[in-house]
Amino acid sequence: MSKTGAQILVDCLEALGSTKAFGVPGESYLAVLDALYDSSIDFVTCRQEGGAAMSAEAFGKLTGEPGICMVTRGPGATNASAGVHVAYQDSTPMILFIGQVGRSMVEREAFQEIDYRRMFGQMTKWVAQIDDAARIPEFISHAFHCATNGRPGPVVLALPEDMLRDVVEKYDIPTSYNRAAPAPSPDEFAQLSERLQKAERPLMIVGGGNWSADCAKGIAVFAEQNNLPVATSFRCQDYINNDHPNYAGHVGIGIDPKLAEKIKQSDLLILFGTRLGEMASNGYSLLDIPCPKQEVVHIHTSAEELGRVYNVGLAINCAPKTLIAMLKEKGQICTRSTTEWVATCRSGYDAFLDVAQVASHVELKEIITQTRDALDDDAIVTNCAGNYAIWLHRFFKYRDYRTQLAPTSGSMGYGVPAAVAAASANPDKQVICFAGDGGFMMICQELATAVQHDMNMTVVIVNNAMYGTIRMHQERNYPERTSGTDLKNPDFVAMAKAFGASGELVTKTEDYAGALVRALSHKGVSVIEIQTDPNVITPVADIASLRKK
C-alpha cells in the first residue's frame, strides 16, 4: 500500500511505541499533522516551542522512551533549542522533528531556512535531514537507537515539506529498537568487589541517565546489604528514598558542607551513572582534576564519559540495570563493619534539615515540609531554576523514583512544561510545580496548554519580585549596586483565573496549608501565589548578611 512520507513517519512512531507528541503546529509539516489525525498518538498542542520541547524532554525523563517534539522551521526550531539543551545536559532521550523548506529551495536562505546540522550540532547526539521519503524508516530507527543508547540524549531530524508529501510504494516499518546494556568484565567486577571489601569509608553518588524504578530499588537493597551510604547527584534526589537510613544527602547547589567533607574523607568514592559535573562537584572542587586523591570508581553507561574529567583507579563502562542485577546476585560484598560511618553520613543529612532559618512572614521551609506531608509518595514535583529551589532541594524528601523533574542544565522556565508532561503522562497522580516569579513568566503560556487538555496540576509561584539567584550573586559581588534584577509582576491570581485555572494568594505561612488542600482537591489547574520577603535570599542568609561578606 503506497503512503506519503508523513504517513510512514507517523506509522514508524506508533510502531516504536510513541503515544504522545508535544508541539506547536506549523505549515512546514502540515502533512504530518494530517497523518496524526488518523493515528493513536496524542498530539499535545503547546503555546510556544520552548515549552513543547521542555515537555517532551520531561516526558522522556518520566518514561525512559524518547520524548517526541514537533515544531516548524526557523523561529520554531530556535525556540525549541532551549528544550534540546536541557535534554542534552540532562541525558534525556528525545527526538525533535523540524519542518524544513522544500528541497529545491535549500542554500538560498529561503523563508525561515536554517542548516540544523550546524545549529544543533553541539547540543545533540545526532542531527540529520531526511531528503528521501523511502529512507524514513531507516532514519527513525536510528533516531530511537541513538537517543536511548549509551548516554541518552536528543536527536534532531529535519523534514523538508515536499519530502513529506512524496509517495512511497515499498517500505518496511520498524516495530522495535534495541538498547545496548554494556556489562563489566569479570575482572572489573572483581576489582569493584575487592575495593568495597577493603573500604572503611565508602560513599556512592548516583545520578545520570538510563536509570529506572527497578534500579532505584536495587541500589537501596545493595546499600543496605553492604552498609554503604548513598548520596544523589544534582537534581537526582529521587534515585533513592530520602527516608532510607543509608541516604546521605544531595550533591548539588548549596551542598551540605559536612557532606562535602565526607566526600573528601571517603577512601572509596563510587560515581554510579553521574558525570559529577560542575554543579554536582561544587565547581569541580570535591575531587582533584585530573587525579583525585580519593580512590574513585567511575561507572557510566557511555565509554566517552569515562576519563573525560577524572582519571580514576577503576572505570567501568556499564548500564545501571546490568550492574545492579549483578550486585543483587552477589548480595553482600563488604564484610567490614561500616555501620558507624553510614550513621554519621545519615546524621549529617538530618542535621542539615534541622536548621534555624532567617525569620520571615513566609517560612519556605515550613511550606516545603507541609507540601511533602500533603502529597502522596508518588506525587510528581517539578521545578526550574531560581533561589526558591534551594529550599525545595534542601527540605523536600523524595520517596519514589521519578517524582522529581528538574533540569540539571539549570534552565529557567522548565517547571510548568514539565508539569504539563507529568500531568499528561500520569493523569491519576498528583502533580505540583514550584516556580519562581521570573521563571514562571518565561513560560507561563503553557498554563493554557494544561487548561485546554483538561490536566490536573498545581503551580506554586514563589514571588519575591526579582531574579533572586542573580540578585544573590549581585549583592555578594557588588553590594548595594542593584542592576537589572528587579521585577514588576502581574497579579498572578488574576492571571491564573484569566487562563481558566483557580488561583489563591498566600502572604503568611499559616495560610498555605488550606490553600494547598483546596488546590490539590480542585479538578483542573490551580495556581498558588506566595509573596515572600525579597530580603531572605537563602534559608540561612538575608541580603544584609551577603553585603557584609
Q: Calculate ∠ Cα 509-512-518, nearest 5°.
A: 170
pLDDT at position 549: 64
Number of C-beta neighbours around residue 483 at 10 A:
9
3-class secondary structure, 279: coil
Q: What is the pLDDT along the chain (549 residues), one digit of tens a residue?
A: 899 999 999 999 999 999 999 999 999 999 999 999 999 999 999 999 999 999 999 999 999 999 999 999 999 999 999 999 999 999 999 999 999 988 888 888 888 889 999 999 999 999 999 999 999 999 999 999 999 999 999 999 999 999 999 999 999 999 999 999 999 999 999 999 999 999 999 999 999 999 999 999 999 999 999 999 999 999 999 999 999 999 999 999 889 999 999 999 999 999 999 999 998 998 999 999 999 999 999 999 999 999 999 999 999 999 999 999 999 888 888 777 889 999 999 999 999 999 888 889 999 999 999 999 999 999 999 999 999 999 999 999 999 999 999 999 999 999 999 999 999 999 999 999 999 999 999 999 999 999 999 999 999 999 999 999 999 999 989 999 999 999 999 999 999 999 999 999 999 999 999 999 999 999 999 999 999 999 999 999 889 888 876
3-class secondary structure, 334: coil
Report strand pairing: 380-383 vs 431-436.
parallel
Contact residues for 527 (Cβ-Cβ < 8 A; gap 6+) = 447, 458, 459, 460, 461, 492, 493, 495, 496, 501, 502, 503, 504, 519
Beta strands of 33-184 (E only): which ranges? 42-45, 67-71, 94-100, 126-129, 154-160, 167-168
| Element housing 451 (H / E) | helix 446-452
Inter-residue contact 242 to 351 (CB < 8 Å): no
**Quick one: residue 496, left, alpha or beta (phi over 0 = left, psi -120 to 50 = alpha)?**
alpha
Inter-residue contact 130 to 159 (CB < 8 Å): yes
| 486 DSSP assignment | B
Could you state, in order of their start, the residue ranges of all structural domains in the chain? 3-168, 186-353, 364-548
Supply the pTM of this predicted model: 0.96
Helical axes 512-521 vs 364-374, angle rounded to 10°: 30
Cα 486 to Cα 464: distance, rounded to the nearest angstrom: 9
Cα 262 to Cα 280: distance, rounded to the nearest angstrom: 14
List the grid coordinates of 122. 553541539
Task: Please give the C-alpha separations between residue 41 and each of 138, 299, 438, 501, in angstroms, as whole numbers.
Answer: 20, 36, 33, 26
Inter-residue contact 239 to 223 (CB < 8 Å): no
| Element housing 35 (H / E) | helix 30-37
Residue (of 305, 317, 325, 330) closest to 183 by Cα position: 317
pLDDT at position 214: 95
CATH 3.40.50.1220 fits 186-353, yes or no: yes
Name the amino acid, one letter, at 304. E
Residue (of 484, 475, 382, 466) closest to 429 by Cα position: 382
- Burial string for 488-519 (b: 16+ CB within 10 Å, else e) reads ebeebbebbeebebbbbbbeebeebbebbeeb
pLDDT at position 358: 86
pLDDT at position 533: 94
List the grid coordinates of 147. 537517543
Task: Classify residue 33 as exposed, middle or buried by CB count within 10 Å of its CB (0-12, 13-18, 19+).
Answer: middle
Residue 232 — φ and ψ, nearest 5°?
Answer: -115, 145
In CATH terms, the fold of domain 364-548 is Rossmann fold (3.40.50)
| 533 DSSP assignment | -
Name the amino acid, one letter, at 29. Y
Number of C-beta neighbours around residue 87 at 10 A:
34
List the grid coordinates of 221. 537493597
CATH: 3.90.1150.10, 3.40.50.970, 3.30.360.10, 3.40.50.300. Which one for 3-168? Answer: 3.40.50.970
Cα 143 to Cα 127: distance, rounded to the nearest angstrom: 9
3-class secondary structure, 32: helix
Report strand pairing: 20-23 vs 42-45.
parallel
Cα 475 to Cα 472: distance, rounded to the nearest angstrom: 5
Contact residues for 231 (Cβ-Cβ < 8 A; gap 6+) = 203, 204, 205, 206, 247, 248, 249, 250, 251, 259, 263, 345
Report strand pairing: 202-206 vs 314-317.
unpaired
Cα 270 to Cα 266: distance, rounded to the nearest angstrom: 10
> How many Å is the maximal CA-CA distance in the chain?
75
The reply to whether 186-353 shares the fold of 3-168 is yes
